[in-house]
Chain A
Amino acid sequence: MNLLAKYGESARPIAGGTDLLVKKPPEVEYLIDIASLPLDYIKNDGEYLKIGSLSTFHSIETSSLFKEGAYRILAESAHDFGQATVKNMATIGGNVCSAVPSADFPPVLMVLDAKAKIVSLAGERIVSMEEFFAGVRKTVLRSDELLVEFQIPKPPPHTGAAFYKLGRTSVDIALVNAAARITLRSDGVCEDARIALGAVAPTPIRAKGAEKLLRKKEIDEALVEEASQTASEETKPISDVRSSAEYRKEMSKVLVKRVLQKSLKRAKGE
C-alpha cells in the first residue's frame, strides 16, 4: 500500500499481467507485484460469498462453491473467458479493474449484486459494481487504492441466473455479453429481475428499463421479447474491427432473451 501511495499514477499493481503486459500503458513506470498477497480465496460465510481479487479464472471455473444456484454464472463466465493458459494467470480483480467494456465478469457481478472491497492507507470502502466503472478503462479506484475482495450476498430462494458470451470463435473477446438474474415469488411472479450487458457501452450496464418491465409480473414469452427489445434499446454500442454497432445492438436483444429464458428455467428449478 505504501508503494501505491508513493508512486501514484506512474505505478500499477500487476497480478496475471495478461492485460497490462500487452497494453503497456506509456505512463506506467512501475509495476507493483501483488501476486503473492493472500487474496486468492473463495469462501462462503453464509451471508456473503467472498472472492479474493487474486482468484484466477481457473479457480473460479473449478470451485465447488459455484456448481449450483445463481453462483453458477461465475463458473460459467470463467469457463467462457478464454484459453486454458490465460485462465491460469488472469484474475477476477484484473478483469474488473481493466474496465474494458467487453470484460466478462462485470455483468455477472452486477446481476449478483456484488460489491467491491477497496483498501488504501486511509482505510477501506465498499463500492457496488454499478458505481465502480467510470468509462472505457476507467474505474473509481484512486491510484493509491487496491481492490481486494468481491462480496456477493446470498441470493434469495427461487433465484436463477444465466450468462451468455458471443464471440467470433470459441476463444475470443466478447462482441456482446449478457447476464441475468431472476428471483421468483412462490406464486411464480417475478419478484426481482436484473439484466446486465457488456461490450455495448463504454462501461458494463444494467438494463434498468427492461428490468422494470419484468418486476412483479408473470414472465411469459411475450414479456421476455419485450424486455429484450427494451434492453437492446438501452445499449450504446460502437462499431470496431470486431463487430458493427448494428450487430451488437441486435445481438443484445438475442442474448438478453436467452439469458432471461435460462434464468427463468433455473429459477423454477428446471
Chain B
Amino acid sequence: MIKLNVNGEIHEVRVKPYWTLLRVLRNELGLTGAKLGCGRGECGACTVLMDGKPILSCLTLAARAEGKKIVTIEGLAEGLKLHPLQEAFIKNGAIQCGFCTSGMILSAKALLDRNLNPTEEEVREALSGNLCRCTGYVKPVKAVLEAAEIMRKGGSR
C-alpha cells in the first residue's frame, strides 16, 4: 500500500513491488495521459514530472514515487484554463496524432519552469527524449518558444 501525490491529490493504492509508476497511473488511477510507447525509457511517451523534473514513468517503480510530487498532463490545466504550453500546442498545429504530446508538454514545462528564455537549441535539448513520428518537431518547438514568450510577458504560470 503506498500513498501517491498526483496532481495535488493524495491517492492510496495497493501495488505490487515491481509495478511501475506508469502502470499505476494508467491502470489504478485512470490517468491515461502518460503513454506506454516502448517500456524501455527510449521514447519518452511516459514522461511525467516528479518534484518538477521530467522522468520516465515506465522506468520508475511506483514505490519510488511515494513522498514525491507527481504532475501528469491531466494536472496542467486549471479547470478550463489551459497552461500556455497547451494553448500554444493547439494554436500552432503542434499536435497531430497526439500520442507523444503529453510527454512533450511536460518536458517543455520542466524547461520553462527553470528557464523562461530558452534558445531554440535549449528547447530541442529539453525535448530530446520525446520521440515524435508525426510533426518533425517543427511546430512543437515553435509552440514551446511561443509559450515561453507569453509567459515572460506575464501570461501566467
**Touch between chains A and B, by CB atoms below 8 Å:** yes
Find chain B residues with CB under 8 A from A84 CB: 54, 107, 110, 125-129
> Does B116 belong to the interface (CB within 8 Å)?
no
Q: Do B129 and A83 touch across chains, with their CB atoms under 8 A apart?
A: yes
Q: Select the stretch in B29-37, B60-68, B80-88 that faces chain A.
A: B60-68
Report Cα–Cα, A17/B126, bound state, in Å.
21
Q: For the complex formed, measure the closest distance between the CB of B67 and the CB atoms of chain A, giving whole angstroms.
A: 9
Find chain A residues with CB under 8 A from B107 CB: 84-85
> Does B150 belong to the interface (CB within 8 Å)?
no
Contact with B along A3-35 (1 / 0, CB 8 A): 000000000001011100110000000010101
Q: Do B63 and A33 touch across chains, with their CB atoms under 8 A apart?
A: yes
Closest to B49 in A: A88
Q: Do A17 and B61 touch across chains, with their CB atoms under 8 A apart?
A: yes
Contact with A along B39-62 (1 / 0, CB 8 A): 011001001000001111001110
Tell me whether A171 and B53 are in contact in the complex, defined as CB-CB below 8 angstroms, given that A18-B59, A33-B64, A85-B44 are known contacts.
Answer: no
Q: For the complex formed, measure the closest distance between the CB of B26 and the CB atoms of chain A, giving whole angstroms.
A: 17
Count of B interface residues, CB-CB < 8 Å: 23
Find chain A residues with CB under 8 A from B128 CB: 83-84, 170-171
Q: Do B41 and A31 touch across chains, with their CB atoms under 8 A apart?
A: no
Q: Do A17 and B129 touch across chains, with their CB atoms under 8 A apart?
A: no
Q: Do B53 and A17 touch across chains, with their CB atoms under 8 A apart?
A: no
Q: How large is the interface on A (under 10, 10 to 19, 20 to 34, 35 or more residues)?
A: 10 to 19
Find chain A residues with CB under 8 A from B17 CB: 31
> Does A86 belong to the interface (CB within 8 Å)?
yes
Find chain A residues with CB under 8 A from B59 CB: 16-18, 21-22, 89
Report Cα–Cα, A163/B107, bound state, in Å.
27
Q: Do B64 and A85 touch across chains, with their CB atoms under 8 A apart?
A: no
Among A22, A31, A88, A170, contact of B53 (Cβ-Cβ < 8 Å)? A88
Closest to A169 in B: B128
Find chain B residues with CB under 8 A from A22 CB: 40-41, 59
Report Cα–Cα, A17/B17, bound state, in Å.
14
> Does A50 belong to the interface (CB within 8 Å)?
no
Tell me whether A88 and B60 are in contact in the complex, defined as CB-CB below 8 angstroms, given that A18-B41, A22-B41, A171-B129 are known contacts.
Answer: no
Find chain B residues with CB under 8 A from A35 CB: 64
Report Cα–Cα, A41/B129, bound state, in Å.
25
Q: For the complex formed, measure the closest distance between the CB of A32 and the CB atoms of chain B, giving whole angstroms.
A: 11
Q: Do B125 and A85 touch across chains, with their CB atoms under 8 A apart?
A: no
Q: Do A89 and B129 touch across chains, with their CB atoms under 8 A apart?
A: no
Find chain A residues with CB under 8 A from B44 CB: 83, 85
Q: For the complex formed, measure the closest distance between the CB of A226 and the CB atoms of chain B, giving whole angstroms.
A: 37
Q: Do B61 and A85 touch across chains, with their CB atoms under 8 A apart?
A: no
Closest to A14 in B: B61
Contact with B along A73-100 (1 / 0, CB 8 A): 0000000001111101100000000000
Among B61, B125, B127, B129, contact of A86 (Cβ-Cβ < 8 Å)? B129
Quick one: which of B17, B41, B61, B107 has the most chain A CB within 10 A?
B41
A-B contact sample (19 more), CB < 8 A, given A16-B59, A84-B129, A171-B129: A17-B60, A17-B61, A22-B41, A31-B61, A35-B64, A58-B53, A83-B128, A83-B129, A84-B127, A84-B128, A85-B54, A85-B129, A86-B41, A86-B56, A88-B53, A88-B54, A88-B55, A89-B59, A170-B128
A-B contact pairs, 8 of them (CB 8 A): A17-B61, A18-B41, A21-B41, A83-B44, A84-B125, A85-B54, A85-B130, A89-B55
